[in-house]
Amino acid sequence: MDDFKATGSREFLEWLRDLLKRTFGDNVKMTIEDTFIHTGIRHRVIRTDGEKSPSASQTRDKGGPSRKFKILLDQDDYAAALKPVEHHSLATTKD
C-alpha cells in the first residue's frame, strides 16, 4: 500500500490506521498531522472556526457545533528549488 490520504476525526484516523496495520502489517506508515507533504505536495489543515487544533477536523461532532476548516495545497518549496535546464541543443531547437 502506498500514497494513501484520508481525512476525518483523529479517532477515525487512528481506527483506520489500526485497521490498515491489521490488514497489511505493522509497516503501514500513516502520519496524522495538520501539515504534511504527500507526493511532493504540502497539505495544511487550517481551522476557520477559531479553534486552535485542526486535528479534529470533522464537520460535525455528535450534533455539536460545526467545525470548519480548509485544506491548503501548495508546492512552494518544490518550485523554489527548481533550477533551469541548460543544454546547447535546447538553444537550437525550433518551437
Report residue 14: phi and psi, to 5°: -65, -40
Average pLDDT, rounded, for the chain = 79
- Structural domain includes residue 95: no
Report residue 39: phi and psi, to 5°: 50, 40
- Structural domain includes residue 57: yes
Number of Cβ atoms within 10 Å of the Cβ of 21 = 14
The domain of 16 spans 10-81
Q: Report the share of the chain in percent with pLDDT over 90.
A: 24
- Structural domain includes residue 90: no
- Structural domain includes residue 3: no
Please compute the mean of the pLDDT values over residues 34-63 and round it to a whole number: 70
Give yes or no for residue 81 having a pLDDT over 50: yes
pLDDT in tens, 65-79: 556 788 899 999 999
Domain count, the chain: 1
Q: Which residue carries 450534533 as its cell?
A: 63
Assign 53 to helix, strand or coil. Answer: coil
- pLDDT value at residue 31: 80
Where is pLDDT greater, at 75 or 10?
Answer: 75
